[in-house]
Amino acid sequence: MLTNEDIAKLIEAHKQVFPTKEDFDDLRDDFSDLQTSVDGIAKKFTDYQQELKVYQHRTNNLEGWAQKAGGKLGINYEK
């Protein structure tokens, strides 16, 4: 039969092996912070991609203008 001391040892071992509700609450808070950080990084990446598309469009427009202007001035412009 188990003694009170044996039961106390089992309870203590149980606390060390199995997570408690508080452990899960801490983990949930940590995950929430991590998720917020990842969302922020993803937004910055998306904004950066959109800016690159805008710059690419502007560069293409300027290149087209340079080709037309070069043709009128007799200057050969190649990419």
Q: Give mean pLDDT, residues 5-15.
A: 85
Q: How far is CA 46 from CA 32, 36, 37, in A?
A: 21, 15, 14
Q: Which residue has the higher pLDDT, 26 or 44?
A: 44
Mean predicted confidence (pLDDT) in 63-73: 90
d(C-alpha 30, C-alpha 28), whole Å: 5
Structural domain spans, the chain: 4-73
pLDDT bin (cut points 50, 70, 90) of residue 61 is very high
Is the model's pLDDT at 19 over the cut of 80? Answer: no
Look-up of token digits 């001035």: 73
Sign (positive or negative) of CA dihedral 59, 60, 65, 67: positive
**Mean pLDDT of all residues in 11-19:** 80
pTM of this prediction exceeds 0.75? no
Dist. CA 11–CA 17, nearest whole Å = 10
Between 60 and 12, the higher pLDDT residue: 60
